[in-house]
Structure 1
């Protein structure tokens, strides 16, 4: 188990959770519906659904919205969503992995390609980016869930590989196949996780300066605003000084 690290959360830039609530709820609902349809509507028997519901609760999504998303999976008119991954490059050569859930592949591909080309990025071929990332399990808890020693000890006992942290949360990293087992062992100690999902963790990061960071964050914001896009991963690192300048 690696020691304490200040590795920044590469899922999104600081403050990205302030995105429009309606758009966020739409994405969360879609993930819940897909998870329930692919498995069972019982979260106790469906790890992916349980993680999706926990993520929705962490964003204060109303219980009625969550239940409607679960019930929608058993409806005859449920959209046939498919999972798609796009790979490409942003400003300063930053590698980006864009994960989407869509019922219209052509629409999503067009939207992603347009967002990239208009905001300093370009799409790459399949496999052009993922070779620089590791596919791992990621479990998140808010920073105030417990002190560092308790979180690290709990993660170690549960079989996690690494723990990183920032001002907002703890990130507990696992092997991909151990994600839900580790999450299950952590819950009695730390409570329900804020999120538990498969993630792309970069093997190396690129330091991005102020100008490129501003363009990069605009690109990520445009991608995030698309209802089909679930998560944008990247190998960028931005200093606290630059973040302060950008506000």
Structure 2
């Protein structure tokens, strides 16, 4: 199930990679080979970033950075190894997570791009000053600009808890009402059905514990920012956005990106 969930989350996480990436007739064979390699390298980078994010969540859930004492973390590390993530990268990340225990600060950076594009960047770091310096350096090399506390108003902040489907949707709705969740939806990925309970972000841990008490198998707990309006951009703008995201995702302390495009 962990492998299925990782594929589910990863497929959503890299949707932007396919936008604006078109090869045209007339390019040389080398140009096409180079383009394909860049796409694969980019996809590999995003996959590794996603896996590290999953490790971080597993560590945050029980405060243990040792895989031998954290079953969920051990499962994700096994997935990382299968994806050919270097052992040195895994060990360095675990050491970093151990060192930053109880020192982590989280936050949201608001970024504006071309033609109405808005991005919210969630980060978790043990050195905010250094991280912000690195972030500004990355942004300076693009056409994006850091916004001043206005972009977040264009999104609705929600909490999502994904669980394995148990019983039927009507029963799940009754459970949602009883535990104080705002809503529940059923969805399917790779022929497997899930429920997603929605609640206020500040109630995520409480609702998760109550769901586990009702014998639901909780697969993921996450905050989400849903845009009030979706915008459409041309291929040129999407290519620019892809480059902006690549630079931001190269920062290890970035945990998630939310934006207002499909």
Give the TM interval when normalised to the shorter protein: 0.5 to 0.7
Cα distance in 1 for partners of 2:49, 2:159 equals: 25
Cα distance in 2 for partners of 1:25, 1:140 equals: 17
Distance 1:55 1:136, change over 3 A: farther
Contact 1:134 1:202 in 2 (8 A): yes
Aligned pair partner of 2:257 in 232, 240, 245: 232
Distance 1:162 1:130, change over 3 A: farther
Distance 1:198 1:88, change over 3 A: same
Q: 1:2-41 alignment to 2 at 5 Å?
A: 12-14=13-15, 18-20=43-45, 22-33=48-59, 35=60, 41=63
Distance 1:154 1:189, change over 3 A: farther
Segment of structure 1 superposing worse, 103-112 or 19-28: 19-28
Aligned residues: 205
Q: 1:151-190 alignment to 2 at 5 Å?
A: 152-153=169-170, 155-159=172-176, 160=181, 161-163=183-185, 172-184=197-209, 186=211
Counterpart for residue 218 of structure 2: 192
TM-score normalised by the chain length of structure 2 = 0.59
Cα distance in 2 for partners of 1:99, 1:55 equals: 25
SS class of match (2:121): strand
Residues 69-101 of structure 1 deviation map (CA, whole Å, 9 limit, x = unaligned): 59x65x7x8583321321111222211111112
Q: What is the CA distance between 1:156 and its match in structure 2?
A: 2.1
Q: Which has the larger radius of gyration?
A: 2
Structure with higher RCO (Cα < 8 A, 6+ apart): 1
Cα distance in 2 for partners of 1:124, 1:227 equals: 21
SS class of match (2:218): coil
Cα distance in 2 for partners of 1:115, 1:137 equals: 29
Counterpart for residue 212 of structure 1: 237
Counterpart for residue 118 of structure 1: 141
Cα distance in 2 for partners of 1:55, 1:232 equals: 25
Cα distance in 2 for partners of 1:233, 1:59 equals: 27
Aligned pair partner of 1:223 in 236, 248, 251: 248
SS class of match (2:150): coil
Contact 1:138 1:173 in 2 (8 A): yes
Distance 1:204 1:108, change over 3 A: same
More helix by share: 2
Contact 2:48 2:80 in 1 (8 A): no
Residues 6-25 of structure 1 deviation map (CA, whole Å, 9 limit, x = unaligned): xxx9x744177954355444
Contact 2:58 2:73 in 1 (8 A): no
Counterpart for residue 132 of structure 1: 154
The CA RMSD measured in Å over matched residues stands at 4.3
SS class of match (2:106): strand
Check if 1:80 corresponds to 2:103. Answer: yes
5+ unaligned residues in a row in structure 2: which ranges? 1-9, 18-41, 65-69, 82-89
Distance 1:13 1:28, change over 3 A: closer
Contact 2:55 2:77 in 1 (8 A): no
Cα distance in 1 for partners of 2:171, 2:260 equals: 28
Distance 1:167 1:108, change over 3 A: same
